[in-house]
Amino acid sequence: MKWKGRQQSRNIEDRRGSRIGGKGIAGVGGGLGLILVIVFTLLNGGGTGDIVNNIGLGEPQTGESYQGTAREEELADFVAVVLKDTEEVWTDIFEENGLVYREPTLVLFSGQVESACGIAGTAVGPFYCPGDQNLYIDLSFYDELSQRFNAPGDFAMAYVVAHEVGHHVQTLLGTTEDIMPLRNQMSETEFNKYLVRFELQADYYAGVWANHAQGLGYLEAGDVEEALNAAHQIGDDTLQKQARGYVTPDSFTHGTSEQRVRWFKEGLRNGTIQGGDTFNANNL
């Protein structure tokens, strides 16, 4: 992807190196356990179980400054350019639909981070929290993406950002609000089926962004293949097969490799919000 020297988003909050503040449970109030804690991740592997529904943990904030490696700093610049691209593309698309796009903030963290959805560790992977409308990424995930998940390449990384931005689009469009109450109205297996459609829609929106990036001439040879490979490598079936040798489709929350690739591709081909109605699609 052509990105060097291009404009970066200002909506980046760098919390790398800062520890989680100790507010104490007493200051939070007793109702916290009732808050619906859900975050939208890139993949199933980390699991939302790693989100700690408790703000009282951790050491006091130290505020020490963080100096990443040259590679990390380059990644930080890269995601800031991608985020800027998503802001421009989604602002235009929303405008065409008579809507206003509110830009999300991307929080860079290392190790652990506190969000409106709870405290999350690096193992959760990149995620979006509808409660504060922030994207959270520990840049070390990109090494994992290329090595553990066999999805190297800068455009694979761009897809990750675009997928989380897709969840933000779903929040702005009201889709998140529509599906969340269903969680208390059905079994986990039934709700997972909605989650899969929800996640595939985020993949579709990532594809919509890629469609526009392509139109603007930012893509290089091999970029689309990098994103498609990433979508394939993090399909629920592929991850489960790697982790334990068999799959349990009832537990899928993000879709199979084939589905993830198909919906990213569909967004890339179609380029509009309207083409991504995964909830009414007969064939996922």
Give the residues lining the site for Zn ion (CB under 5 A).
40, 199, 202
Cβ distance to Zn ion smaller for residue 57 or 123: 123
**Cβ neighbours of 36 (radius 10 Å):** 12
Specify the DSSP class assigned to residue 223.
Answer: H
Chain centre to alpha carbon of residue 122: 13
Residue 157: which residues within 8 A CB-CB, separation 6 or more?
75, 78, 79, 82, 142, 145
Q: In the complex, what is the shortest distance from the CB of residue 41 to Zn ion, in angstroms, rounded to a whole number? A: 5
Cβ distance to Zn ion smaller for residue 20 or 239: 239
Q: In the complex, what is the shortest distance from the CB of residue 166 to Zn ion, in angstroms, rounded to a whole number? A: 7
Cβ distance to Zn ion smaller for residue 76 or 129: 129
What are the tokens at 89? 């593309």
Cβ distance to Zn ion smaller for residue 55 or 107: 107
278, 201 Cβ separation under 8 angstroms? yes
What are the tokens at 269? 């081909």
Q: In the complex, what is the shortest distance from the CB of residue 43 to Zn ion, in angstroms, rounded to a whole number? A: 8
Which residue of this chain has its Cβ atom nearest to Zn ion in the complex? 40
Angle between helices 188-215 and 223-233 (to 10 degrees): 170
Q: In the complex, what is the shortest distance from the CB of residue 61 to Zn ion, in angstroms, rounded to a whole number? A: 29
Q: In the complex, what is the shortest distance from the CB of residue 196 to Zn ion, in angstroms, rounded to a whole number? A: 10
Cβ distance to Zn ion smaller for residue 103 or 199: 199
Q: In the complex, what is the shortest distance from the CB of residue 117 to Zn ion, in angstroms, rounded to a whole number? A: 13
What are the tokens at 15? 């919390």
| Parallel, antiparallel or unpaired: strands 127-129 and 134-137 | antiparallel
Cβ distance to Zn ion smaller for residue 40 or 252: 40
Q: How many CA atoms lie within 13 A of 59 on its CB side?
A: 8
